[in-house]
Amino acid sequence: MIALTLPELKTAASCIFTKDTFDYFLVKEITISTSNTFHVDGKLHPDYFTDEEKEALRDPVYSDWKTLRPFCYQLIKGKKLPQSFRLVFQLSDSNVEKFLKQHNFSCQVSDIGGLYLHFRYENHTLSAISGTSLNFFSLDKTIDTAWDEMVKRILKLSGIFFEAG
pLDDT of residue 159: 93
Beta bridge partners of 5: 127, 163
Task: Provide the pLDDT for residue 165.
Answer: 63
Instruction: Calculate the alpha carbon distances from 128 to 23, 45, 68, 165 in Å.
Output: 16, 28, 19, 9
The 3-state DSSP class for residue 151 equals helix
- State pLDDT tens for residues 44-63: 998 888 888 878 877 778 99
pLDDT tens by residue, 69-123? 999 999 998 888 899 999 999 999 999 999 999 999 888 899 899 999 999 999 9
Q: What is the pTM of this model?
A: 0.91
Amino acid at 54: K
Report the distance separating Cα 28 and Cα 9, nearest Å: 23
